[in-house]
């Protein structure tokens, strides 16, 4: 295949800002054209907010890195206008197998619930996601949106002021200053912005090394996720095999502690390990090799004045569970509508604090899961290993032990129930509880999520309501549904239950803000104010 990550996608070009006599001020600057920075830029551009992305590179990320993208990420990408090409390219999988020693102990099926437009997961190299995001961003720009990426623009200083941020940017043609009303730092796990602002990044560092190898092979392994504990070809350690598009397979081998990374990365050391795993007769080619250790840590605060951190710069997890890139995309989803409303003057600046509350909660959840998985895969004490092995031995015979096997709890979206923006709940099915993402359902007119508006949606099921609810600068547009639009019954099952009618207020990020039995103007307006940080619960 063409090594797409070697092609410059946004080569350096001199910008008039570099020749301005005074620093040019932009409403929003994003540092970093990784998945999170690009998602932020597209979301803001779609909301009419001018945005400049600065990246110290000019191409997509090297190597496949994250390969497992969750249903929620795909739904967000639908909203951002690039869901279809991702799903067309990606590999859909549902079956997983777990091996212990030299035997298979059980297999599982993700059994995705029917009636959702998107599958539970697809596997796709991170560079394809980034390519799709860059293409979408450029299409928006070609349509006239004020959005651009400046390649080989490295941010070298960040100074936060009360109402703006001042930046210095290094380019191949020298340095220039810039200013932003708001800065979103999506500059990755080793975030230079965080360092320049002297902010801490605390948590647990794990000592085990992992070898990631992407290999191309025409092998007839099925499209499944295979995970080995203590396999014969990697005694005392773990291994993972997972399929990507283009005949590429992700192999992840635990190497243990205290190894010589540079030595282990050499092809003459990698290839025998892979041969031992794949068998001597399977021809393969190395596409990308990396050795890494990982951390589970987060910043205490994601917002520092006018600087907001999102993605890996704000929080970092182990790869088990595919929570890194997926949770970062959800950060973008949460932040951008809020920032757009604040910039429009429709909501107070304190709305941005709710980003920190909601995504900080999600980060804690992700770190908790990711730490549990890591402790199961790499037990930290003899007793921990004894229990781990007992679970695996029992899982072969008894179903009860299988939920205890933890080779990564795959990313699911957090609910914001109980956090300040989430409003009243007059009852209904669990799937529709305020705080959760609105569940999808196949309506006569297409998937429900595709019909939600980019602003607030007032979703009514067999309930009377005006077409528009307004409260000062706030508004919600009505999406009138009926059980007669619901051929499979999924809408009724997920959002109506036994009630004759239901009214949902849904946020621009598709999370449910509040739900009511019938429409009540005062209650809906109060929920709208609460969901935009203007009224306490």
Partner 1 sequence: MTDLTLAPNMAAPDRSYADLIAAHEGLTKEQSDALNARLILILMNHVGDESVIRAAIDAARLE
Ligand X SMILES: Cc1cc2nc3c(=O)[nH]c(=O)nc-3n(C[C@H](O)[C@H](O)[C@H](O)COP(=O)(O)OP(=O)(O)OC[C@H]3O[C@@H](n4cnc5c(N)ncnc54)[C@H](O)[C@@H]3O)c2cc1C
Applying CB under 8 A, among 221, 292, 368, 400 the residue interacting with partner 1 is 400
Cα 309 from Cα 397, distance rounded (Å): 46
- Residue 477 pairs in a beta bridge with 457, 468
> 400 touches which of ligand X, partner 1, none (CB within 5 to 8 A by kind)?
partner 1
- Contacts for 141 with CB less than 8 Å, ≥ 6 apart: 45, 147, 148
Q: Which is nearer to ligand X, 94 or 290 (CB)?
A: 290
> Can you state the angle between helices 71-80 and 324-343, rounded to 10 degrees?
40
Q: What is residue 391's three-state secondary structure? A: helix
Three-state secondary structure string covering 107-125 = EEECCCCCCCCCCCEEECC
Contact with ligand X (CB under 6 A) among 4, 18, 57, 293 = 57
Per partner kind, with CB cut-offs from 5 to 8 A, the member of partner 1, ligand X, none near residue 517 is none
For partner 1, the closer CB: 6 or 398: 398
User: Taking contact as CB under 6 A, which single stretch among the options 105-113, 116-124, 316-324, 460-468 is the one that binds ligand X?
Assistant: 316-324
> Of these, 389, 396, 450, 520, which contacts partner 1 (CB under 8 A)?
389
394 makes contact, choosing from partner 1, ligand X, none, with CB < 5 to 8 Å by partner type, with partner 1
Which of ligand X, partner 1, none is residue 537 near (CB under 5 to 8 Å by kind)?
none
- What x-and-dash track marks residues 156-195 binding ligand X by CB under 6 A? ------------------------------xxx---x---
CA angle 103, 108, 111 (to 5 degrees): 165
DSSP 3-state assignment of 472?
A: coil
Residue 476 CB, nearest approach to ligand X (Å): 31
Residue closer to partner 1, measured from CB, 104 or 398: 398
Bridge partners of residue 175, in order along the sequence: 170
Instruction: Give CA–CA dist 174/149, Å, rounded.
Output: 18
Beta-bridged to residue 238, according to DSSP, are 229
Q: Is 394 in the site for partner 1 (CB under 8 A)?
A: yes
CB 296 within 8 A of CB 370: yes
If the CB atoms of residues 34 and 434 are measured against ligand X, the closer one turns out to be: 34
Q: Is residue 325 involved in binding ligand X (CB under 6 A)?
A: yes
Element (H, E) at 98: strand 95-100
Distance CA 325, CA 262 (A): 26
Binding test (CB under 6 A) with ligand X, winner from 292, 368, 387, 400: 292
Whole-angstrom distance, CA of residue 35 vs CA of residue 321: 17
Nearest one of 513, 511, 526 to 79, comparing CA atoms: 511
Q: In whole angstroms, what is the distance from residue 348 CA to residue 50 CA?
A: 19
Residue 163 tokens read as 């109402």
Give the number of residues in contact with ligand X, rule: CB under 6 A. 33
Any contact of residue 499 with partner 1 (CB under 8 A)? no
**490: helix, coil or strand?**
helix
Question: What does 60 interact with, of ligand X, partner 1, none (CB < 5 to 8 A by kind)?
Answer: none
Q: Which does 311 bind (CB under 5 to 8 A by kind): ligand X, partner 1, none?
A: ligand X
| Measured CA angle at 172 (ends 170, 176), to 5 deg | 35
The answer to whether 146 and 183 are in contact (CB under 8 A) is: no
Task: Rule CB under 6 A: say whether 290 interacts with ligand X.
Answer: yes
The window from 25-33, 271-279, 372-380, 402-410 that contacts ligand X (CB under 6 A) reads 25-33
Helices (runs of H) and strands (runs of E) counted in the chain: 13, 28
Selection from partner 1, ligand X, none that 115 binds (CB < 5 to 8 A by kind) is none
In this chain, which stretch among 96-104, 284-292, 384-392, 494-502 interacts with partner 1, using CB under 8 A? 384-392
Q: Which does 36 bind (CB under 5 to 8 A by kind): partner 1, ligand X, none?
A: ligand X
By CB under 6 A, tell whether 408 contacts ligand X.
no
Question: Of the candidates 391, 410, 461, 505, which one interacts with partner 1 according to CB under 8 A?
Answer: 391
What is the nearest approach in angstroms of ligand X to the Cβ of residue 426? Answer: 37
Residues in contact with partner 1 by CB under 8 A are 386-387, 389-391, 393-394, 398, 400-401, 404
By CB under 6 A, name the binding residues for ligand X: 31-37, 54-57, 61, 65-68, 126, 154-155, 186-188, 192, 212, 290, 292, 311-312, 319, 322, 324-325, 328
């Amino acid at each position: 295949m063409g090594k797409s990550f070697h092609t410059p996608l946004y080569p350096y070009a001199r910008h008039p800002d570099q020749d301005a006599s005074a620093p040019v001020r932009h409403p929003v600057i994003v540092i970093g054209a990784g998945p999170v920075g690009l998602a932020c830029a597209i979301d803001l551009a779609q909301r009419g907010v001018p945005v400049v992305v600065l990246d110290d590179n000019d191409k997509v990320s090297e190597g496949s890195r994250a390969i497992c993208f969750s249903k929620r990420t795909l739904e967000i990408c639908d909203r951002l206008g690039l869901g279809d090409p991702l799903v067309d390219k990606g590999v859909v999988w549902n079956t997983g197998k777990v091996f212990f020693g030299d035997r298979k102990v059980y297999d599982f099926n993700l059994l995705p619930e029917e009636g959702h437009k998107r599958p539970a997961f697809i596997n796709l190299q991170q560079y394809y996601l980034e390519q799709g995001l860059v293409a979408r961003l450029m299409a928006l720009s070609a349509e006239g949106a004020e959005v651009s990426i400046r390649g080989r623009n490295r941010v070298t200083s960040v100074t936060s002021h009360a109402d703006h941020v001042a930046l210095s940017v290094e380019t191949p043609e020298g340095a220039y200053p810039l200013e932003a009303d708001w800065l979103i730092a999506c500059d990755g796990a080793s975030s230079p912005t965080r360092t320049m602002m002297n902010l801490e990044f605390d948590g647990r560092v794990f000592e085990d090394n992992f070898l990631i190898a992407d290999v191309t092979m025409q092998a007839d392994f099925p499209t499944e996720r295979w995970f080995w504990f203590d396999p014969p070809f990697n005694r005392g350690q773990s291994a993972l095999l997972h399929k990507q598009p283009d005949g590429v397979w992700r192999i992840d081998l635990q190497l243990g502690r205290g190894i010589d990374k540079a030595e282990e990365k050499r092809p003459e050391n990698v290839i025998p390990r892979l041969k031992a795993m794949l068998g001597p007769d399977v021809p393969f080619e190395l596409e990308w090799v990396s050795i890494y250790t990982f951390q589970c840590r987060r910043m205490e605060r994601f917002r520092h004045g006018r600087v907001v951190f999102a993605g890996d710069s704000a929080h970092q997890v182990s790869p088990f569970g595919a929570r890194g890139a997926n949770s970062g995309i959800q950060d973008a989803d949460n932040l951008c509508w809020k920032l757009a409303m604040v910039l429009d003057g429709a909501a107070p600046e304190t709305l941005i604090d709710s980003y920190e509350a909601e995504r900080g909660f999600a980060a804690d959840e992700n770190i908790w899961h990711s730490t549990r998985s890591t402790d199961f895969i790499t037990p930290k004490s003899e007793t921990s290993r004894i229990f781990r092995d007992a679970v695996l031995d029992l899982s072969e015979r008894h179903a009860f032990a299988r939920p205890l096997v933890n080779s990564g709890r795959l990313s699911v979206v957090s609910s914001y129930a109980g956090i300040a923006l989430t409003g009243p709940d007059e009852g209904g099915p669990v799937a529709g509880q305020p705080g959760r993402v609105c569940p999808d359902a196949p309506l006569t007119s297409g998937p429900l999520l595709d019909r939600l508006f980019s602003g607030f949606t007032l979703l009514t099921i067999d309930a009377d309501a005006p077409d528009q609810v307004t409260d000062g600068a706030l508004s919600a547009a009505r999406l009138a549904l009926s059980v007669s639009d619901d051929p499979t019954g999924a809408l009724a099952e997920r959002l109506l239950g036994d009630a004759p009618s239901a009214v949902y207020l849904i946020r621009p990020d598709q999370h449910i803000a509040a739900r009511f039995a019938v429409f009540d103007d005062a209650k809906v307006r109060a929920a709208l104010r609460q969901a935009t940080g203007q009224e306490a619960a």
